[in-house]
Each structure stands twice: as structure tokens, then as C-alpha cells.
Amino acid sequence: MEKVAERFIAYAKQHTTSDPEGKTYPSTGRQLDFMRKLVKELKEIGLSNVEMDKYGYVTATIPANGVVNCPVVGFISHVDTSPDFSGENVQPQILKDYNGSPVHLKNGVVIDPKEFPEILNYKGQDIITADGTTLLGADDKAGVAEIVTAAELILEAKSLKHGKIRIAFTPDEEIGKGTDHFDVKKFGADFAYTLDGGEIGELEFENFNAAGAKIHIKGRSVHPGAAKNKMVNALNVAQQLIAMLPATQRPEHTEKYEGFFHLLSLNGNVESADLQYLVRDHSFEKFEQKKKLLQEAVNFVNTDLGRELVELKLEDQYYNMLQKIEPVMHIIDIAKQAMIQAGIEPKIKAIRGGTDGARLSYDGLPCPNIFAGGHNFHGPFEFVPIPSMSKAVEVILNIATLVAKR
């Protein structure tokens, strides 16, 4: 427990936020700075074939120990933190023996059980939070710390028999580009698991189908005193577009298998405006319907204006991995058994988001997702119980031994 917590705290302090507007890969140099430190650490603990390629992917091998004729399993986590909230100067702190009371942080941030009741599941446990001014970064540095700690333990445990194991750390997952240049063939695993889930016990092999939309509106600025029949206020056009999408299909009104339109940003003035939307749905049919509705709304507004002033760029980002996991459900059975052996009840659920594993599954590497232990990602209310991270390490070790028996 102490080792994985120590590692996580050290990783969390390093600024690795990705940038959706970045023009390089990875999108920020700070991710590469962290990756280089990871390379050094992996070599120090004795992993083989440790390398970082030109895109920032770090890969390494745990050589087989007494077992050769078994599948090669991989474990993957991402190093970047979300640009949704500040990830700079993160100050992790350990709340010892949590007593169930509201957790008061800086800037008036309170993790109150009335609003975040899940924290009560961890009464009596040591919990790590940030200080209220930043996110914590358990998404997904908890996963990174768990994989590195498990790798170190596997190498130290000479009696633990296992086959070849591959590990990888990716950049830019938070901006949907985590596997843009990932070489599945070179990685050489038969299947893998991302350590990128939330609460202890999560096991996920369904996720959203996802698209990103960028909308540019060209207005016409005229002095408001002489604007009649001349002005086109881009902000009002944006408002019209927003109103045409169903309010009941916004993230704050959806759950479980319900998809949504998420207005990510709106910037502009009378002369021009830009909107960014995330389009999400687990059902591919409903996903296509949502994209069609967005296009129809843009077409309607252009017709209403009598000119092509609204431009939509719509790009698919990833798809539901379920289709690729169903033919290899034995890898889900392995993860379930690994959790049960660790005394954990598997909680199978659909991801209301995506992981690197979703795209990797479509690239030929089946890759479901396992819990890393954190809660309330992408904001100052984030926390991770230390025992949950410790159990994630145990699950990795159990998977390694179970795969060796196949």
C-alpha cells in the first residue's frame, strides 16, 4: 500500500495536462518530460526492452518466468491529465482514517458526503485528495502507479510463474488522441487491460460511440442603431442552434445507457462564434441519429438565414468496444476471477466515456478496462482511496498468474 501511494503522489505532482489545441504529438512537452522519468524508473526496477518512441509512447517487457506457451497480456495507462481543470502544481494530501465528515479543502471546495455519498464507502481508509486548487490526477496516474508497482512486485517475486507481459503508457488520452500512433503489432500482446476505471471493482467492456463537432458561425457586425435587416449576430445564431438540440439529452440529465450532446465550449461575438460539441451514445444507431440531428440543425439555420453562414466539422473519435470484446469474452472471465481472488466483487458496467482500450480494440488489440480506484475525475473534488490502488495492484498480479494457466 505504501509503495503504490508513494508512487502515485510523486506522479501526481508532475504537470502532464494535455492540450486539445496542441499542434504536436503529444500535444504538450510536459508529457514527454514525465515519460522520460518513467523510462528511467522502469529501467531501474529491472524491466526489459524499455523504450520511448518518437510519439512519446513508453513500452516495456516483463520477461516470462517459467511459462512460455501462454498468451502475452498487456497493461496500459495514460499519463496525461484532463485540460478541464488545472493540473499544475498539484499538492496531494493523505486524509488518514477518513471519519465520514465533509472534507474541507482550499477555495471553499468541500467533498461533502451529502453531494458525494460514495466517499462514505471508504470510512476508516486513508484517502488521497488534492488541495482544492487543482484536480488530483488519479485519472490516470493511479493506473500508472499501479502498473509500475505491480511490475516491480512481479520481478521481485521469483516464485510467481507467469508468461511474457507487456506494459505501455500513452499520452493525450484525455483529448481523444491516445492511440493515434500506437503500434499494436510492435506492442505484441494478444490482449490487454487498461487501468483507467473508477471505483474498486469496476470492469468495463462497453463504452460510448463518440464524435467531436466544431461549429463556426460567420456573423455580420453592423452598428446596432442601423442594424435592421443587416446585422447577423453570430451569438444569437449560436443560441438558436443550441436550442434546437434536445435539452433532455445533455450530460446533466442523462445516466447509464443514455447518450448526450455536450456543449464543451462557446466563444465569440457578433462577428463570429465557435462552438464545440461532444456527441455520445452507446447505441451505434442512436449515435448516427444524433449526428444526423446536429447536421440537420445546421442545415435548417443556414436555410433560415438564406446563406451558408454556419459550418459544421464532425469527426468520429472512437466506437463502442463491445463488438470487439464479445468474441473473446474469456478475457473478461480472467479479470472477474482475478478480482474475486482479491476479495473484490466485480462491478460490470458500461463506461460513460471512452478509454484508449476502445480504439485499441478496433485496431486489433482487445482491451477492456479495469478500475484504478479514483472518484470525481477532472475537478477539485477528486479523491482516491489508497486500499483501492493496492487492490488494483493485486488484480494485476492475479491476472498475470491466471493468463499463465491458459
Own/partner pairs, 241-250, CB within 8 angstroms, 24+ separation: 241/215, 241/217, 241/275, 241/297, 241/298, 241/301, 241/310, 242/266, 242/275, 244/297, 244/300, 244/301, 245/293, 245/294, 245/297, 249/290
Beta carbons of 59 and 167 less than 8 angstroms apart: yes
**173 labelled catalytic:** yes
What's the CA gap between 151 and 147, in Å, rounded? 6
Is 45 buried (19+), middle (13-18) or exposed (0-12) by CB count in 10 A? middle
- How many Cβ atoms sit within 10 Å of the Cβ of residue 49? 12
| Residues near 195 by beta carbon (within 8 Å), at least 6 away in sequence | 75, 76, 77, 140, 142, 143, 144, 146, 147, 369, 370, 371, 372, 392, 396
Alpha-carbon torsion (142, 148, 149, 154), positive or negative:
positive
Q: Which of 139, 146, 172, 173 is catalytic?
A: 173
Is 108 buried (19+), middle (13-18) or exposed (0-12) by CB count in 10 A? exposed
Beta carbons of 205 and 327 less than 8 angstroms apart: no
**44 labelled catalytic:** no
Beta carbons of 321 and 205 less than 8 angstroms apart: yes
**Catalytically annotated residues:** 80, 173
